[in-house]
Structures are given as structure tokens and as C-alpha cells.
Amino acid sequence: MKANELRIGNYVNYWYSALHKKTTRQITALRREKYMISGTISEFNYDYRLVKPIPLTEDWLLKFGYKTTKIHHYAIKGHLIWIINGNFICDKNGVTIKHVHQLQNLYFALTGTELEITENETSKP
């Protein structure tokens, strides 16, 4: 994952190498290939090489509030995502979206608003 792909608010996986465990976190600040990640006892600077993208799934679309309107079709506020041959495709520009942070960035670029986990899903990153 390239450091310049991320924005504050993006969800990522962070690899705790000492614990051999990955966890889902949200970027809270950016600084020269280092990130501040939420959800820790205190916030530390994390090396970008330990931050990995989260594969986009239908579960993530639902967490963000997308609703199923047809088979293989998810919508939120006029923004549609199609699932074609296992790929998530934006209806506005035909872009294939592979990771959660890409969906968040594309949604912001198209709507000017952040894509956030809905209230009833906050306990499930």
C-alpha cells in the first residue's frame, strides 16, 4: 500500500508484528509515511509498511449504510456499487474498487462527504 493513497478517516488493517496479529483501525493523522491510528491505549506513530488495505466485501458496504436494491447492486444517497464477476464497480465512472479505503476516497471525491460506519454497526469494524 502506498502512503499517498490514504486519507484521515480511512479504515486499514494494522499488523502488530510483536503479537503476530492484525487489527482494523482508522487513520487519525498523516505525516510523511507515518500514521496515527485510532483504537489504541495511546496513539503512536505507525510505520506505513505495517498498514495494509482491507479487502472490500459486501459486509463492508452494509456497515457503511449501503442498501441492497437489486441482486448484485448496492446504493447509498445516489451512489451505486455493482458486483460484477466478483468485482465491485462504481456506476459513476466504472472504476473497480478493491479496498475499503478506495471506496471511502471515491465516495468522498464524488459526494464531498465522508463515508462512515452507520451507528448500528459501530461495534463491528
Under the banding of pLDDT at 50, 70 and 90, the label for residue 100 is very high
Q: Which of 101, 90, 95 is nearest to 2 (CA)?
A: 101
pLDDT at 59: 94
H helices of 1-125, in order, are 58-63, 100-111
Q: What is the pTM of this model?
A: 0.81
pLDDT at 26: 84
Compute the average pLDDT of residues 58-74.
89
Phi and psi at 27, nearest 5°, equal: -70, 130
Query: In 53-89, which positions are buried (b, 16+ CB within 10 angstroms) versus exposed (e)?
Result: bbebeeebbbbbbbeeeeeeebbbeebebeeeeeebb
Query: What's the grid cell of residue 44?
Result: 503512536
Under the banding of pLDDT at 50, 70 and 90, the label for residue 27 is confident
pLDDT at 73: 87
pLDDT at 45: 55
Instruction: Mention the CATH class of domain 3-52.
Output: mainly beta
| Higher pLDDT pick, 67 / 4 | 67
Domain ranges of the chain: 3-52, 58-117
